[in-house]
Amino acid sequence: MVDENCTRVTHFTLAGLTEHPHLKPVLFALFLRTYMLTLVGNLGIIVLVRVSPQLHTPMYFFLSNLSFLDICYSCTIISPKMLLDLSEKHKAISFAGCLMQFYFYAFFVTSEVYLLAAMAYDRYVAICSSLLYGVVMSPGLCTCLVAGCYLAGLLNAVAHTSGLIQLSFCGPHVINNFYCDVPPLLVLSSTDTWLNEVVMFVFVGFNVITTNLLIIASYTHIAVTIVRMRSAEGRRKACSTCASHLAAVTIFFVSAAFNYMQPSSMNSMESKKISSIFYSIIIPMLNPLIYSLRNKEVKHATINIIRRKVYF
């Protein structure tokens, strides 16, 4: 129960990553560079897929949506306000603004989790059923898969945000993180957060287990198919594609699970803050490199566009 005489919190203060004044300029330059690289890299992928007819395939349709989600949830975290907050002593955010930031963050991140699973299924069909790839991965199915990813993100965001609205915050009001997230907010709540933690564990656990099972099943069949391949070049190409995707998926899921699949406490906030950096800031910047810049088709499409621009 909440004390009736308590004063409800109308705003929060973000603790940020550090209070050391000498580190703040370094973090500002690092995050600004990361923000620009994320925007340029992912916008470049979206434009490239849009204007290159040879990239109008299911794989690059999913990739362009992945880049869109990377831009969205990266901008939700590394916003101009966050960069300005690095130079300010008090980093205030309203209660409504905090809930809004978390809502969009949860929506985009959850959608990306399911999109990664859909991309794994796409690779499974491409490698294990290559002759039927064009029939199975029809435009209608691809659109439905992407729509399902966004729907899953919407449901997850609504569930967590609705639970946060029911909580009361009477102080303290300092969020031990650089953005609004569920674990540090639960620590500050003046009411019992048992139900919220159960909801977080169940929803995050369901999302992680469901998508991981699909990814593991897809790559198990892919591994069997690769072993049976007679062409060494085909095995090398398939392994290269799978290795890049699995590396990004592993980093994303491990850091996300470490951040959410444990009880909230003041002692675990610092470690959670570090893991949050990986899947909220680093991965959106690395995804264009992992999924595209090592891809020959993307390189050829980029060269063709440059040649056309130079010619005209």
**Strands of the chain, DSSP E:** 11-14, 92-94, 174-175
For the CA atoms of the chain, what is the radius of gyration? 21
Of 74-83, 117-126, 141-150, the poorest mean pLDDT is in: 74-83
CA 153 distance to own-chain centroid: 11
Residue scoring higher pLDDT (15 or 61): 61
Nearest Cα to Cα of residue 258 among 162, 196, 183, 199: 183
Average pLDDT, the chain: 81
What are phi and psi for residue 12, nearest 5 degrees? -120, 160
Q: Where are the domains of the chain?
A: 11-303
How many other CB atoms are there within 10 angstroms of residue 286's CB atom?
19
Reported as a pLDDT band with limits 50, 70 and 90, residue 281 is confident
The pLDDT assigned to 310 comes to 64
Return the higher-pLDDT residue of 261 and 69: 69
pLDDT bracket for residue 240 (50, 70, 90) = confident
Report the DSSP pairing between strands 11-14 and 92-94: antiparallel
The string of pLDDT tens digits covering residues 224-234 is 988 888 877 77
Domain at 11-303, CATH from 2.40.400.10, 3.40.190.10, 3.20.20.210, 1.20.1070.10: 1.20.1070.10
pLDDT tens, position by position, 28-43 = 888 888 888 889 889 9
When pLDDT is cut at 50, 70 and 90, the band that residue 143 belongs to is very high
Region 254-258 average pLDDT: 70
pTM value > 0.85? yes
Q: What pLDDT digit, counting tens, does each position of 172-218 carry?
A: 788 877 888 887 888 888 888 888 888 888 888 898 889 989 999 99
**Is the CB of residue 114 less than 8 Å from the CB of residue 62?**
no
